[in-house]
Amino acid sequence: MKRAFCVFLFFCMMLSACGNFGERIKQPVTFYYVRSQSQYFTNDGVIVSEEREASGHRNDLSYLLAIYLMGPIQEDHRSPLPAGTKLYTVSPGAETTEIRLSDLDDLLSDADYALACACLAKTCFGLTETEEVTIFSGERSLSLTADSIYEFDNIPEATEEAS
């Protein structure tokens, strides 16, 4: 009886491992950046996506955000965060995920900080099932939900006012 039970457990573990192995290798992730400056005023919005290979790290949010901070691969995308931004901590949770970045107070305006947080939060919503992302940097913090992000990606087209 023990022998049959051990064989059964072995096969269950093998099936489980095979199933997870296939998911880890083939599952891409989506990072969100901003369009290059020359393309801001388009009907497609400011925030753009870039698909990356997770390489077995699909469930490792700290690793994926470290890769995110390295910046986009595509030339027509740019990172909303300054080069050298450091990821201090990531605390994923079912309701709220908290992210602590290096101090960006002197490097980004409030509007640029909000846009950077929207891109980072949108990336987290695609990687986790969290309901809210709170990003801390220096003296600033911003909490976003999936619904609140859409206002950052809806910049109207530039228009000229008649004089």
Residues 103-152: pLDDT tens digits?
A: 999 999 999 999 999 999 999 999 999 999 999 999 999 999 988 886 65
CA angle, corner 40, sides to 112 and 139, nearest 5?
5
| Cα distance between residue 19 and residue 27, in whole Å | 12
Segment 62-85, tens digit of pLDDT: 999 999 999 999 988 999 999 999
Q: What is the mean pLDDT of residues 30-38?
A: 84
Instruction: Give the whole-angstrom CA distance, residue 99 versus residue 126.
Output: 15
Average pLDDT estimate for 25-44? 72
Residues facing 33 on adjacent strands: 48
Show the domain range for 76: 28-149
42-50 average pLDDT score: 78
More confident residue, 55 or 61: 61
In a domain, 60, yes or no: yes
Average per-residue pLDDT in the chain? 80
Please give the Cα distance from 66 to 87 (Å, whole number).
7
- Is residue 58 in a domain? yes
The pLDDT score that the predictor gives to residue 41 is 56
Considering only CA atoms, give the Rg of the chain.
20
Residue 98 sits at φ, ψ, to 5 deg, of -110, 135
- How many domains is the chain partitioned into structurally? 1
